[in-house]
Amino acid sequence: MARRLLKMPRQREGGGGGRSRVLREGRVFEQAGVNFSHVHGDAMPASATAHRPELAGRSFEAMGVSLVVHPLNPYVPTSHANVRFFIAEKPGADPVWWFGGGFDLTPYYGFEEDAVHWHRTARDLCLPFGEEVYPRYKNGAMITSISSTAGEQRGIGGLFFDDLNTPDFDHCFAFMQAVGNGYADAYLPIVERRKATPYGERERHFQLYRRGRYVEFNLVWDRGTLFGLQTGGRTESILMSMPPLVRWEYDYQPEPGSPEAALSEFIQVRDWL
């Protein structure tokens, strides 16, 4: 049984709020959290207008669900998923809306079987929306998984889409739902396959080191984290994606030929299918 299941409703001073649920110290998941947010305000934050300056000065409404799972066993990868909707409005102008979201996988030890299953599930949920959809959003996930500071991949990607507003609302909404529902189909079989794998101090040490890279990525490069902080959201909930335990080590170098050394090659951009 998990030691704690935290339930945290919250209100945002600028308008709106959300709910968080965090499971801690479970037998399989060291920490797993889900955030729901629905916020609104008089002006779009900088993180949302950086690549769309025409939206500056518009009022906005945004809602989304995000989750991050940090397993206890180092052989089970960390996973992240989110889906979101934005609408920006201005008197005398048509509203601008879009959907975004996706999911990605961050393994500590690479298994080709798991990577193929993850990407096959992603491809299959995309197929009803067009054969070009998976290649387009798979590449987006790999690009958004790169840490510019460390110059390395965070994981093996999955799907990432943003600014989705064509061909119409119903089509985009259906795709967002497919991504949200497909996450469990992609992740849970991997958890079941790896959760009982024996591990020791070496694997745990490496897992905590790699979690440090995960923290770096989320705090410096993740657009969702930046949006939450810039809109005045509850910091505790925004940083729910942080793992409960991490470690940093200066100039860490895994032993050549070890499973730990093999990870850097495993997470390089490639076609898994």
Catalytic residue annotation: 80
Whether the Cβ atoms of residue 157 and residue 80 lie closer than 8 Å to each other: no
Question: How far is Cα 149 from Cα 143, in angstroms, rounded to an integer?
Answer: 14
Residue 237, C-beta contacts closer than 8 angstroms, at least 6 positions apart: 8, 10, 18, 20, 35, 37, 228
Query: What element of type H or E holds 139?
Result: helix 133-144
Buried b (16+ CB within 10 A) or exposed e, 24-43: bebebbbbbbbbbbebebeb
Q: Which amino acid is at 268?
A: Q
Question: How far is Cα 215 from Cα 120, in angstroms, rounded to an integer?
Answer: 28
Question: How far is Cα 57 from Cα 155, in angstroms, rounded to an integer?
Answer: 36
Beta-sheet strands, E only, within the chain: 4-11, 16-24, 29-41, 59-71, 78-89, 96-106, 146-147, 152-153, 157-164
CA dihedral (236, 242, 69, 147) in degrees, to 10, reads: 130
